[in-house]
Amino acid sequence: MNALIPYLVSVFLLLLIGLGCLMVKRDMIRMLIGLEILFNAANLNFVALSLGRAGFADPLGQSIVMMAIVLDGCVVAVGLAMALNAYKHYGTLDVRKLRRLRW
């Protein structure tokens, strides 16, 4: 279990960085990067936990990470397409300019 601690600390740091990125950054592309960091925190956790099990790398955890990377890619691709369309409408990627929706 002790060998896992550096990995778990990095996962926690990645989570904080990703969430911070989503909250602080105002650029659509940077927000998508923050999203990707969040997904990668979870992926790293999977890989780390699959290594600690039974003395060898568990293929279940690894294969799930492979699939999860593909799914993250799809989400970010859709996000980038939306950023492109938003740029066509507003001429900017700054989300502070996108405040026309009411509460």
Residue with tokens 């970010």: 76
Asked if residue 71 binds other proteins (CB under 8 A), the reply is yes
Rounded Cα distance between 32 and 52, Å, is 31
Residue 17 binding other proteins, by CB under 8 A: no
CB of 6 vs other proteins, minimal distance in Å: 15
- Residue type at 20? G
For every residue of 4-59, DSSP letters joined together read GHHHHHHHHHHHHHHHHHHHH--BHHHHHHHHHHHHHHHHHHHHHHHHTSTTS--H
> Could you say which of 74, 91, 92, 96 contacts other proteins (CB under 8 A)?
74
What are the structure tokens assigned to 82, written together? 């939306």
> Which of 78, 92, 94, 96 touches other proteins by CB under 8 A?
78
Query: What does the binding site for other proteins look like in residue numbers (CB under 8 A)?
Result: 15, 18-19, 22, 28, 31, 35, 38-39, 41-43, 45-46, 49-50, 52-53, 58, 60-61, 64, 67-68, 71, 74-75, 78-79, 82-83, 85-86, 89-90, 95, 98, 100-101, 103
